Amino acid sequence: MSTLKAIFFDQDGVIIDTEKDGHRIAFNEAFKAFGYDFEWDVEQYHRLLQISGGKERMRHYFHEKSLFGDLLKSEEDEFIKDLHGKKTEIFISLIESGKLPLRPGIKRIMKEAMAKGLKLGVCTTANERSAHAIARGILNEIEFEFVLAGEVVSKKKPDPEIYLLALRKSGLKPNQCIVVEDSRNGILAAKAAGLRVVATTNVYTEQEDLSDADIILTTLGDPGSEKGILKKGDKERLEFDGVLHVDQLMNYFSI
């Protein structure tokens, strides 16, 4: 029998629903600060989210709009770095202002995992500063084994590199860990690393093909508050009633 010993969490869309009213707003404010008059609307940002990584997203968009034609590659890299740095400052200020609340059930399930002695990790393509602003700030009560973010890996999701690194950091086997993700790219990355996946959906990912996940929920749920809806998984074996608990996951994924 293999016992669950760790849970790895994606950040954006899983811990905080950051994309629509966090990162997108921060990108648009950064564009404005750099003198641009365009904005990414909700639908356009959804399309750009299929590209992992903020700097990669901006580079793709600027190339698509032929905005870098007069820059050398080195100049383009420096400009992207500066623009993304401004975006990160704006995003962190949004986090610290408390305008972006934690998703339902996320702190609760982390505390349950800690009480059971499970290792916790964050695996995100988000900037390291923003990742630590959440993990070491808003979630300062949670004991994370590691926070993997930013340029810690060379290949972004759906490449499994970040989850393979998480396995090395934890010293555990894939069947001893599960991942909480929200996007197809994240699920594919986790699955390629041999991990089991719980997916929680949000406004940007609810229409994506998340079928490779083992369990799909609208949210982890909280007692007396918002309850989750099970989209995939054995409801009777999971004993799911709208709130997902660590005990349920330990039983469900024990083999």
What is the spatial order of strands in the sheet that 6-9 belongs to?
A: 146-148, 119-123, 6-9, 177-181, 196-200, 215-217, 230-232
For the chain, percent of residues with pLDDT exceeding 90 = 76
pLDDT of 115 > 90? The answer is yes
Domains of the chain, CATH where assigned: 6-17+102-252 (3.40.50.1000), 19-96 (1.10.150.240)
Distance, CA of 43 to CA of 49 (rounded, Å): 10
117's tokens: 């002695």
**Residue indicated by tokens 């590209």:** 51
Name the average pLDDT for the chain. Answer: 93
Is the Cβ–Cβ distance between 222 and 39 less than 8 Å? Answer: no
2-44 pLDDT, tens digit each: 699 999 999 999 999 888 889 999 999 999 999 999 999 989 9
CA–CA distance, 69 with 63 (Å, rounded to integer):
8
Distance CA 218, CA 193 (A): 24
- pLDDT of 187-198, one tens digit each? 999 999 999 999
Q: Are 105 and 219 in contact (CB under 8 A)?
A: yes
Confidence of residue 255 (pLDDT cuts 50, 70, 90): low
Does 1 score more than 80 pLDDT? no
Query: How large is the C-alpha radius of gyration of the chain?
Result: 18
What are residue 157's phi and psi, to 5 degrees?
-55, 140
- Residue 231: pLDDT band (50, 70, 90) is very high
The CA distance from 17 to 199, in Å, is 14
Q: Which of 18-27, 105-114, 135-144, 170-179 has the lowest mean pLDDT?
A: 18-27
- List, by residue number, the catalytic residues: 10, 12
Residue 98 pLDDT exceeds 80: no
Q: Which pLDDT tens digit goes with each residue over 131-153?
A: 998 999 999 999 999 999 988 99
Query: For 76-93, how does the pLDDT look when each residue is reduced to its tens digit (9 = 90+)?
Result: 999 999 999 999 999 989
Q: How far apart are CA 254 and CA 237, in angstroms?
A: 12
